[in-house]
Chains A and B, each alone.
Chain A
Amino acid sequence: MQIVVRDQTDLALLKEKAREVRRRILTMVHRANSGHVGGSLSSVEILVALYYRLMRHDPRRPAWPERDRFILSKGHCTPVIYAVLADCGYFPMSDLRTFRRPGSHLQGHPYAPKTPGIEVSTGTLGLGLSTAAGMALGAKLRKQSHRYYVLCGDGEIQEGQIWEAAMFANKYHLDNLIAFVDRNYLQTDGHSEEIMPLDPLLPKWEAFGWRTCEIDGHDFAEIIEAVETAKGAPGKPTLIVARTVKGKGVSFMENVVGWHGTPPTREEYERAMKELEE
């Protein structure tokens, strides 16, 4: 439950944090025998960079008005956000054992009224970016300076509503909105470019009026630099295409379509945990 003070955080600490988060993701999904491992593992570095380095937030005051907000638009990847929130101290680490169980506040998809630290209830794809845009507009109306960070899946941006939100954020110049696309190229039924082609992503978003950049989504230095640049770019929302590996960190899960929503068996879990030992 230790909270890493941002100023003292160095890359080694962030990497160690990412390893711990990956282990918790696997344990949570294995224990529940249900949940989404692949897309959680692919976005670990993005969340760790945000929560331990980039975002202004205070786990003791989840409703602090000036906090930066994170919105998990790819709502199925609750294991990664729950692991990070618990580690930050938003709720007890032991709660992770109740993931996807009746009576738990840790629902399969995020439910903001129940879980401290969850800002927006998501689940059906394509809704989170629009909701974040509405929040960002609200902050502009109130002349507040905090920011909104959104994580979309790459499969998710096949939803038409994502492009509605993209137009809206451009119209209202929501430069307090920074969105990541977790570009791992895999979705439930296969490779994204075979299921419903998305490339080229950057020109699409640029045509919709967004500032864009493409980074290695597992490289902390690149994530941090991309966000710091976005913070200094007025007038436009920013879209960061983060190239990632689905199932990152567990050799037999990496780039394998089947690890979207399938829990590991005991044997697979043990092998994975062994790979993620120090």
Chain B
Amino acid sequence: MNSTEFKQTRQGYVDALIELALVDPDVVVLDSDVAKATKTCDFEALFPDRFFNCGVQEQNMMCVAAGLALEGFIPFATTFGVFASCRAGDQVRNAIAYPKLNVKIGATHCGISTGGDGASHQANEDIAIMRSFPNMTVLVPGDYEESRLATKAAARFTGPVYLRFGRDKYPVVPEIHDGFAIGKAKLLHEGEDVTIVTTGIMASEGLKAAGILAERGYSARVLHMPTVKPIDTEALLAAARGTRGIVTAEEHSIIGGLGEAVAGFVAEQHPTMVRRVGVRDTFGESGQAQELLDRYGLRAANIVAEALSVLQEY
């Protein structure tokens, strides 16, 4: 009944790196002994002289990337999200963000869908950490193709960029394949009653939620924001003005992520009810990716429930 195709977002990242390296000799890739997991091993196979495995040294890797950027290279420093944001947080803040160096951080295995490895490896705080650093751009693409587009956009952009990918295979969402402009939201579905704002893999759940709401007689706007920072304030302001409330959806903690970015902006500019779908203030646990998304409330049904509560209150 369901013919949806599933693909890895991290594969979109590495496929883009290969495309980039073919045309730009300054593109180099670093990894920290997780190349088979992040898929940068595919890059290494084609460009062994432009791939640097730093071993289990995420902190050193971030600074080496900073050094390569200072010498004019476009380094993509790759590791798991927990290590990029927490283990090497000081290095990203002080060696990359502060001097605004042209380093791209490719973070895989982000979110609860990292699955069996459990809470230690499920980055649910990385968006919060990265968007709090001045000069940092934060991209959270939603499927394989958007990951590919986001990676290429990051290479064209001058300055530090955090790119967030998952471990699992995620639904392909054709609605988000129409280009990639950093800082621009994508309007996936027009609607007047409520706005669903998604980032990352929640795009597919947002679209499903809009379908369910339509069956109940509500028209939901779906705004996909693969750029969490800088947030598209124009699209948000239009949503706050044009609909009765906003529901955000992210595969990340409700603390400091997309939900807070949206709520913070509309609270100051056009006070609007905002409800957040995301991981509540809790650590995850081991399990299969899809069952964890159910268990931690990251589904269309959760978005619908929040949307209905917004609509019933106003």
Contacts and interface: CB of A to CB of B under 8 A. Distances in A.
Q: Do these two chains really belong together in a complex?
A: yes
A112 interface: yes
B67 A130 contact: yes
B64 A137 contact: yes
A165 B75 CA distance: 17
Interface in B58-114: 59-60, 62-68, 70-73, 75, 90-91, 94-95, 98-100
A111 interface: yes
A142 B59 CA distance: 24
B69 to A, nearest CB: 8
Interface in A7-47: none
Interface string B16-60: 000000000000100000000000000000000100101101011
Given A127-B91, A127-B95, A138 B57 contact: no
A168 B62 CA distance: 12
A138 B98 contact: no
A135 B57 contact: no
Interface stretch (A79-87, A118-126, A196-204, A244-252): A118-126
B60 A123 contact: no
Nearest to B50: A141
A167 B53 CA distance: 12
A138 to B, nearest CB: 3
Contacts of A120: 66-67, 70, 99
Interface residues of B, number: 27
Interface in A134-161: 134-139, 141-142, 160-161
Nearest to B73: A138
Nearest to A135: B67
Contacts of B59: 126, 130, 160-161, 164
A84 B100 CA distance: 25
B68 A112 contact: no
A137 B55 contact: no
B99 A112 contact: yes
Given A111-B99, A137-B52, A168-B60, A123 B68 contact: no
A165 B58 CA distance: 11
Interface residues of B, dominant DSSP? helix
Contact of B64 (A111, A122, A134): A134
A138 B94 contact: no
A128 to B, nearest CB: 8
Nearest to B63: A130
Contact of A132 (B52, B67, B75): B67
B229 to A, nearest CB: 20
Given A134-B65, A137-B68, A138-B67, A121 B98 contact: yes
Contact of B63 (A111, A112, A127, A142): A127
Interface in B215-270: none
A138 B70 contact: yes
Given A112-B99, A167-B55, A130 B60 contact: yes
A130 B32 CA distance: 14
Interface of B: 28, 49, 52, 54-55, 57, 59-60, 62-68, 70-73, 75, 90-91, 94-95, 98-100
21 contacts: A111-B99, A112-B99, A120-B67, A121-B98, A124-B90, A130-B63, A130-B95, A131-B66, A133-B63, A134-B63, A134-B65, A134-B67, A134-B71, A135-B67, A136-B67, A137-B64, A138-B71, A138-B73, A141-B49, A167-B55, A168-B57
List the 8 closest A-B pairs by CB distance, nearest first.
Answer: A134-B67, A138-B71, A130-B63, A134-B64, A164-B60, A135-B67, A121-B99, A164-B57
Interface of A: 111-113, 119-124, 126-127, 130-139, 141-142, 160-161, 164-165, 167-168, 172
Given A120-B67, A137-B67, 15 more contacts: A127-B91, A127-B94, A130-B95, A131-B66, A131-B95, A133-B63, A134-B67, A134-B70, A134-B71, A137-B52, A137-B68, A138-B71, A138-B73, A160-B59, A167-B55
